[in-house]
Amino acid sequence: MTEYTDIVEKRRLYLEAEDWGNKVSQIYATKGGRGDLGFGMGCFVYYNNGAVHKLNDKKISIVQVPNSIEEVIDDYTRSGQC
């Protein structure tokens, strides 16, 4: 039964990294002008997977799309949380 150990371990890492990637890493708010990051003013939500969402009134805009799952797994393993 140990023949599937590596497959199960890869799947476990995949699921943990996916869950970690969808968690918020920081919330950043700017006011006035172009903003510090050039995205304009507003409230920005950064996720561990590299995605950035801008919150305006009752709208959510995607400023930056998430990284690929391979990059998220690499970031997760380098973060030391696995």
- Position 15 scores a pLDDT of 96
Burial tier of 57 (Cβ tally within 10 Å: 0-12, 13-18, 19+) = exposed
- Position 80 scores a pLDDT of 86
Pick from 44, 15, 14: nearest CA to 31: 44
Residue type present at position 46: Y
- Position 56 scores a pLDDT of 85
Token readout for 51 is 């995605």
- Position 34 scores a pLDDT of 59
Residue ranges of the chain with pLDDT lower than 70? Answer: 1, 32-39
**Distance, CA of 71 to chain centre:** 10
Token readout for 58 is 């009752």
**CA dist 30 → 15, 44, 57, 58, 70 (Å):** 33, 8, 14, 17, 31
